[in-house]
Structure formats: structure tokens, C-alpha cells
Structure 1
Amino acid sequence: MSLPAANRFHEAVHAGSIVLAFLTQVVSEVFFSLSKVPNALFQGSFRNVSETFPLEVTMDQWSDNNWIVIDLWSKAWLTYGMFGFFKRNVLGPESCNPEVHPPVFYLMWITINLARTSITVLWDREFILAAASVRWILPIYSFYMLYMSYSKLYKYKNWLAVNNPKLILWTRYLTQNGLAAFAWWSLFDASVGLGISLKYIHGVQEPLASSIVLSIIAICIIIWFGLQSILVSKYMRHTFSVYPTLILGLGSMFTSSYRVHDFSANTVVCGVLMILVTIMSFTNLISVCMYTEKPSTSLVVEPYMNITVCETVCPPGGQIKNKVQC
């Protein structure tokens, strides 16, 4: 296969993966909407099944509305990815030149949507262990997608800063923040599912089952804060959606378990975690405001001067070039 033909084939694969990701996103949302009330497809409602297997830290009913916002956000960054095929830079379509989000990125999102669809069916049939296991696909895959986005954007940042600076902003504030919100909300969902399976399948009693759920979330919060604030802040400092998502998730657990005359230890832990997350959020905002990004000395205005780093699909200026310096 010649290079132009290979490039066109890769473009088609990239475009097809984005379109398929968007379509599976819509299908998963349709299934989730149908699962809210009994109908020909679902025997009961998703919420009724959750109330059949309660935990102290079961997320409150109002938290279901957060999926609406998260799904709209997801469709927004998928739409931007499709729109990028109609915008061109000196290398070709923006979506794959350079390839910040390769086809495998969108194929993982397709897997997530298929998993979400299967979860609604498994949960409706009360296959608790299977549904709880499949739920973990969502946070694991979405966090890995976030890692891919961080690393690829940082790799091509210098070239993009000169040749396509808007793509940096859209990727940071639309794609990465939307993906982070989805990853954390699905982590809450998966952790609660684990707690339900521990209690109703493996016989772990309350309050231990709910304490395990909160412990998993607390450990993940600490790891995220350490990575964002200290270890890899250069990749993650522009992701702001995590802490509001955490506060909403913990708040839904708090309101669900709050009893005036029966204040459990796990309810107190939820409240304490919300306060700590709020402090972390302000700390992160202050550190970002105080940070001054140093200008790079290796910026390249002409993207095809040195063939060393950036993977591309289309040749610049009619000449075949596979890589350019970032």
C-alpha cells in the first residue's frame, strides 16, 4: 500500500472510530434513560433495584441527574473531535495531525459505552456480581484515556503552541476535564457497586462494607491530589472538574445516609472528606494561579523542518513527512 493510500486509510479509521464512539454514546444514554422506568425492555427501574440493595453510602436519588451533565460533556468533546476533521492545519485534518487522540483512544470509549449498556441490563436482572464487576471497566478505561490525553498533549505541546494553540485549550478544558469528571463519577458508581456485592453476595456487614467503599474513594483522592500537586503537575494542573465532581459524589452519599437521630460514622467520614476535598480544590486553584509557564526554547514554527518526534497522518505541503519536531 502506498503512503498516500495508507494515510487515507488511517484517516478513515480515525474518523470511523470517532463516529462509532459518538453513536455508542447515544445508545448507552438511551438504555440508561429507558432503565429509569419499567417498560418492555426493563422489568423495573434502575433506582428501585438500587434501593433493594441499600448501603449506608448509597448515592442519593438526585445524583442520577449528574449523568445528564456528564453525558452532555462527553458528547461535546466527541463532537469537537469530529469537527476537527473539517479543520485543517499545515499537516492535514486537525483531529489526527498531530494525533493527540489516536483511534485506540476512541475505541476504548466505545468499550466504555458498551459496558454501560450491559450494566443497565445486568442490574435490571439483579445480576449484582456481574454488574459490579463490569462497572470497573468505566473508571479503569477512562483514567487510562486521561493518561493518554495528558501524555500526548504534552508531547506535542510545543508544536501546537505555535501552529495550533486553540487545540491545546480545547483539549485541556473540554476533553480532559470532561473525561476526568466521567472517570471520577464512574469510580463512585463502581465503588458503591463493590460495596453492594460485598454486603449482599459475600456477607460483609455494615458499617464495614460502606467503610471499604469510602476507603477506596479516599485513597484515590489522595493519590490524585499528590499526582496533580507534586509529581506530575505539568500534565494535570489544568484539570479543574475533579473536585466539584468529588464534592457532588460525597454530598450524595452524605444526604443519602444522613439521619438526625442516627448519625453514623460513615456519614461523618463523608462530611470530613467533603471538607478536605474543598481545601484541596482551593489549594490547587491557588497553585495554578501562582504558576508561570516558562516559554520553551524549542518551538518550531515550520512543522516539517525536522523529522524527529510528532506522528502525523497527512503530508505537509504535498510532501510525505511522517514525523515533525515538537
Structure 2
Amino acid sequence: MGEHNGGRAALVVINFLVFAGTVALNQLSAFPQYAGGLFVVPEAHTTKYGLGVSTEGIFNTTVGNLSATYEIDVTPAGFVFLIWTVIYFWLLLAHLYALILLCRRNAVGPVYTTPPVLTTSFIVIYTLNLLANIAWLFLWDNQLIIYASAVLWFICLTNWIAFGLVHGSLYRHGPWMAQHAKVDLWMYRILWHNGLALYTVWSTIAALLNLGIALRYEARLEMQLIVYIVLGCLSGILVLYFILENTVLDRFVRYTITIYPVVVLAMAGIYIKQYQHSTLETGYFIIVLLGTSVFCLVARLGLVIVRAVKSPLYVNNKVGDDPVLSYAA
């Protein structure tokens, strides 16, 4: 029977605490006028502030205010940024599920180690990602645009690495889980795979927008060129990923479908905010990319349904009925 792995359990808990701190600071950045108040300690008729935090709080302004200050021709409408709430809520459910796994056992051992879907490398990369998320908040708040852009690209890169690690890990253990832990298999797919997909694709879009801001306000490039760079890169990533996920990567990402709704939302927000006042070239680019993202979404949903019926994963699963013996094998 498997034994507990104290190091990995500690990493799961630390990762959750870092995630909680990331969400808390992101919320404080949305309401900076209240950030300082959290550290207020009333004493008699005077008020003291702990940790050296001033009455104005730890943030100077909101992320949204700075986005409006450094607007470019592909900045989406404000409602699009509410996607952060969806991302963090989805990831919160994923983290709570990971904590629950620490308290469960199956026929082989502790569920979080048998099988070890959330690997040590995944947790470390993902934790570094969350710490970079916090660093970006302060860099952006202090209008250090180039540094903020660099950190956001680090967030994007570590997201894709974590995305690949957790998908590869689940695929390796998929045959055994399909036979002996089907509920957990789907919980990983729904919570971790699709939650990380939301976070990953939005961080990619945010990195491109931040790059556009840096090119406009630091490098002083022409706005039309920036539009081509941002939307061109997004188009390339979208089409490349669509091709890869429906061919060589299908067995890994078959049930990860939250990529395209994020792109559709972002492009819809750009269309609503920018199309009426855009140049002819920008307007065409926005419409074509919006249409392409909708097509990819519909096509992907159709392909997933068809393949789930006609060519289900692990159809040639040779895992035995005994969970202990089959896991050892």
C-alpha cells in the first residue's frame, strides 16, 4: 500500500496558500482605496497602520484605470476583464479538489500520489507562475511597462508549461484511472485541465496586449503596426493550436474546450470597443479573427462529440480488474 508523501502534500498546501494570496492581492488591486484599511489598527483615539502601509493603500490605482490610460487600438471593452473572476473561481475549485485528495485513499494508497497527476514539477512551475502574477501587479501599478510586459510573458510561458505537464501526466495515468478512478479522471479534466486552459489563454492574450502597450508607449511604434503584431500573433497561435490539438495532441487535450470561448470573448470585446472607430485594415482584421475564433469553437465542440462517440480514449485499455496489481504493472 502506498504511503503519504509529506513533501508533495506540503507543496500542494503551499501552492494553495500562494494562490489565495494571489487572488487576494488581485482583488485589492481592483479596490485600492480599501487596501490600506486592511492593516488599520485602532488604538484609543488614534489609528496606526501596520506593515508600513499608508492610508492610501498598497496600490496607487486599479489595473483597469491603467489599461484605459495606456489604451491601444486592440484594447477590449471593460467587461472582458471580468473573466479574471471566472478564472480564479474555477481555479479555486481545482485547488479545493487538490486539497480534498490529500485526505482520500484508494485501493493503492493516498489518491494524490496514486496516481501522482499533480506532479512536483507541475506544482513548482505553477507556484512560480502565481508569484510572478503578484509581481506583475506591482510592476503594472508603478507603470513599469517594459518590466511588467516581461513578467507577463513569463506568466504566459509558465502557464503553457504547467498546461503541458498536467495534461501529459493525466494521459500517462489515464488507462488505469479510466478503469479504477473514472470520477477523479473527469474531475482532473474539468477542474484542472479546463481551469488552467482559461488562465493560460487569457494570460497569452494579456501578454500580447501588454506587448502592444510597451511597443506603443515605450518604443513609440505606429498604432497600425502594433495592431498587426498583436492580432497577427494571436491569429498564428490560435490557428497553430487548433491544428495541433485536433491532430497530434488530441489524445492529451481531447476534453479541454475552454480555450476558444476566451478568444471569442476577447475578440467580441475588441469589436465592441474598437470597431466603430478603427481603420479599415484594423476593422477587417478584427472581424476575420472574431469569425475564425467562433469557427474554431464550433468545430472543436463538434469534433470532440464525434470523436467521443466514434473513437473514445483508452478503447484498447488492457488494465486489469485488480487496481493494486494493475497499478503496479
Q: Secondary structure at the match of 2:252?
A: helix
Paired AA for residue 301 in structure 1: D
How large is the Cα RMSD of the aligned pairs?
Answer: 1.9
- Number of corresponding residues: 302
Secondary structure of the corresponding residue to residue 251 of structure 2: helix
From 115, 118, 126, the counterpart of 1:109: 126
Q: How far, CA to CA, are the matches of 1:130 and 1:19 in structure 2?
A: 30
Question: What is the one-letter code of the residue matched to 1:276?
Answer: T
Structure 1 partner of 2:22: 28
Partner Cα distance (2:267, 2:202) in 1: 10
Q: 4+ residue runs of structure 1 moved beyond 4 angstroms?
A: 261-264
The more displaced of 13-22 and 239-248 is 13-22
Quote how far apart the aligned CAs of 1:24 are.
1.3
Cα pair distance change 1:30/1:302, threshold 3 Å: same
**Which residue of 7, 13, 28 corresponds with 2:7?**
13
Counterpart position of 2:233: 216
What's the CA shift for 1:295?
2.2
C-alpha distance in 1 between matches for 2:10 and 2:272:
43
Alpha-carbon deviation of 1:90? 1.5
TM-score (norm 2): 0.87
Which deviates more from structure 2 when the two are superposed, residues 170-179 or residues 281-290? 281-290
Q: CA deviation at 1:191?
A: 0.5
Aligned partner of residue 81 in structure 1, secondary structure: helix
Unpaired runs of at least 5, structure 1: 311-323
| Residue of structure 2 aligned with 1:148, choices 142, 159, 165 | 165
TM-score normalised by the chain length of structure 1: 0.87
Question: Partners of 2:77 and 2:283 in 1: how far apart?
Answer: 13
**Equivalent residues of 1:116, 1:135 under 8 A apart:** yes
Deviations 1:39-79 (A, max 9, x none): 42112222222222111011221122110010000111111
Distance 1:270 1:285 in 2: 23
Give 1:280's aligned residue: 296
Percent pairwise identity: 23
The equivalent residue for 2:175 is 158
Contact 1:91–1:97 (CA under 8 A) maintained in structure 2: yes
Is contact 2:119–2:169 with CA below 8 Å preserved after alignment?
no
Find the counterpart in structure 1 of residue 306 from structure 2: 290
The 3 A distance-change label for structure 1 pair 263 and 106 is same
The residue number in structure 2 matching 1:170 is: 187
> Structure 1 residue 118: deviation in Å?
1.0
Partner of 1:120: 137
Answering whether residue 200 of structure 2 is matched by residue 200 of structure 1, we say: no
What are structure 2's unaligned runs of at least 5 residues?
33-55
Alpha-carbon distance in structure 2 between the residues aligned to 1:59 and 1:17: 36
Cα 1:233–1:72 change in 2 (3 A) is same
Of 64, 84, 97, which aligns to 2:114? 97
The one of the two structures with greater contact order (alpha-carbon pairs below 8 A, sep at least 6) is 1
